[in-house]
Amino acid sequence: MPVSLGKSHARALHHLLRNHLLEVAYNATWQDIHRAFELGRVERRRLTFTPRERDLLRKEAERYFGWDLIEPLPAEDRIQAASRAIDEKLAPQRPDDGFVLAKGVLPGVLPVLPAGCALRVALDQLDLAAIGRVLVVENLDCFDQIHRFALPASLREALVLYRGHGAATRGTRQLLQRLPAAVPVVVFADYDPAGLVIAATLPQAGQLLVPQLTPELLAKGSREHFHRQHLQARHLDNSALGGWQTVWAEMKQGGVSVKQQHILALGAPLRCIAR
């Protein structure tokens, strides 16, 4: 199977070429590059090149990426990169940068949406001064159905954001970092260690939305999923959680992962806990 090279490989090549190096550590990135171009030799966990091999590597990399990697990587989005006939994935700006998926009460001149609709909005189109409260929701299906949850009355006028996963989180984080400090940010995630870590690591998150725990809701939870999240649990044990410390203690005592979908299915009331 051909080796697929990406931005991390291009950065490694740029570093070698820009600094006129003839050897590098034979780590996973350089193992990929070595397999792709078959240049250099491995000696004692180092990949070494002759000056001629390095020149050939530069030419082969330029043919592969469409960019002379002795130069810095392009500082633009993928459309601009594509217009310059280079690999568009080298662009540092990802498609989700500067955008959020939003619903609820949209600020400024943005339209009023039906409950089942959301809008992908560029951050530059959001009037930050008009945002009164933000609710960040972890899971997409629960973001879509947020109007069906038993939310506190204080959240009925909130701007609701999908937190996203992977690269999709970037736009949400960028918006939260731009918000005035006085704007309350409420996080609604799964009731488990991973969900609490999400809340604890989002910028400006000051309130956590948690369900009223009943025997029926706890019975829907998964002990297996809770124990799989041991790394997140360790992180929480070593974190300054403030007012959320009681939530973490309660979670550990219950020892189950309760998903947002369970909370909706059982109609569990939700309440805000300040950090």
Domains of the chain: 7-90 (no CATH), 99-274 (3.40.1360.10)
245 CB-near residues (< 8 Å, 6+ apart):
none
Confidence class for position 252, pLDDT limits 50, 70, 90: very high
- Say yes or no to pLDDT of 55 above 90: yes
- Say yes or no to pLDDT of 85 above 60: no
Mean pLDDT, the chain, whole residue set: 90
Q: What is the model's pLDDT at position 260?
A: 96
- Say yes or no to pLDDT of 76 above 80: no
- Say yes or no to pLDDT of 261 above 70: yes
* Radius of gyration for the chain, computed over Cα atoms and rounded to the nearest angstrom: 24
Confidence class for position 74, pLDDT limits 50, 70, 90: low
Lowest mean pLDDT among 15-29, 116-130, 248-262: 116-130
- Tokens 């949406």 -> residue: 113
Chain-centroid distance of CA 22 in Å reads: 36
From the list 272, 267, 161, 153, the residue with the least C-alpha distance to 214 is: 267
Q: Which residues, listed in sequence order, are joined to residue 203 by a DSSP beta bridge? A: none
Residue 10 half-sphere exposure toward CB, CA atoms < 13 A: 23
What percent of the chain lies above the pLDDT cut of 90?
Answer: 73
Q: What is the model's pLDDT at position 145?
A: 95
pTM: predicted TM-score of the whole model, two decimal places: 0.71
Q: What is the model's pLDDT at position 98?
A: 82
Q: What is the model's pLDDT at position 95?
A: 64
Confidence class for position 90, pLDDT limits 50, 70, 90: low
- Say yes or no to pLDDT of 229 above 60: yes
Q: Are 67 and 73 in contact (CB under 8 A)?
A: yes
Confidence class for position 234, pLDDT limits 50, 70, 90: very high
Q: What is the model's pLDDT at position 167?
A: 63
Model confidence over 194-218: pLDDT tens digits?
Answer: 999 999 999 999 999 999 999 999 9
Confidence class for position 34, pLDDT limits 50, 70, 90: very high
Tell me the pairing of strands 134-137 and 185-188.
parallel
- Say yes or no to pLDDT of 93 above 70: no
- Say yes or no to pLDDT of 168 above 80: no
| 73 compared with 7, residue with greater pLDDT | 7
